[in-house]
Amino acid sequence: AQSVTQLGSHVSVSEGALVLLRCNYSSSVPPYLFWYVQYPNQGLQLLLKYTSAATLVKGINGFEAEFKKSETSFHLTKPSAHMSDAAEYFCAVSDQGSSNTGKLIFGQGTTLQVKP
Amino acid sequence: ETGVTQSPTHLIKTRGQQVTLRCSSQSGHNTVSWYQQALGQGPQFIFQYYREEENGRGNFPPRFSGLQFPNYSSELNVNALELDDSALYLCASSGTGDEQFFGPGTRLTVL
């Protein structure tokens, strides 16, 4: 069965600093992995996805993530945080391995705070 | 191209009542998934519909039921509401090979 663990429920960075949000996964099949962002009182927006192509995935708003099979990780990074990045971030794995329209299994989420 | 819409935005019910939540899929999408997001938690998969048929279900009791209509809009029905059903309910639509596009959600409060 697939699962996702997000390490750190709250992360606080200064504006301009590196953002690193950690995600580890467990999957019995080659995974499809996703990062979503959720702003207050809104739905989820896809930041980026890994679908077994390049291991370094670039997404929107300057975010990227690297798939590391040996570490079963898919950490999200951004070189320089902006105030507008403050939000809730969710890592997810698709239960169908090779599909991105299967059931999504989400982590608990990480709240990113950006200090001026 | 219109996005995924959900109604109502907010809803307050009392224990034991029934509720229907609605979702309008993005144009051209034939798959809809419903998720429950409790406060401070990640979304949990309830079920998915593909071309009006249930196509997978999460660990939710039968009092959670759904429908998908020929125009691919969808409903989530919850009977005999419990306090723990208070949550944000998200629907997501997708087409063949597409990502899941999420709506803004319906916030349900059960008193």
Predicted local distance difference test score (pLDDT) of residue A102: 76
- Quick check: A49 pLDDT over 80? yes
Predicted local distance difference test score (pLDDT) of residue B97: 67
Nearest to A106 among B43, B95, B98 (CB): B43
Predicted local distance difference test score (pLDDT) of residue B28: 83
Predicted local distance difference test score (pLDDT) of residue A60: 94
Nearest to A101 among B35, B98, B104 (CB): B98
Residue A30: pLDDT band (50, 70, 90) is: confident
Residue A99: pLDDT band (50, 70, 90) is: low
For the CA atoms of A23, A64, B88, A3, the dihedral, rounded to the nearest 10 degrees, stands at -30
The average pLDDT across A8-14 equals 96
Interface check for A105 against chain B (CB to CB < 8 A): the answer is: yes
Q: Counting one residue from A and one from B, how many pairs have CB atoms under 8 Å apart?
A: 61
User: Do the Cβ atoms of A1 and A101 come closer than 8 Å?
Assistant: no
Residues of chain B below pLDDT 50: none
Predicted local distance difference test score (pLDDT) of residue A66: 95
* B94 contacts on A by Cβ (under 8 Å): 100-101
| SS3 annotation, chain B | CCCCEEECCEEEECCCCCEEEEEECCCCCCEEEEEEECCCCCCEEEEEEECCEEEEECCCCCCEEEEECCCCCEEEEECCCCHHHCEEEEEEEECCCCCCEECCCEEEEEC
The average pLDDT across A60-65 equals 96
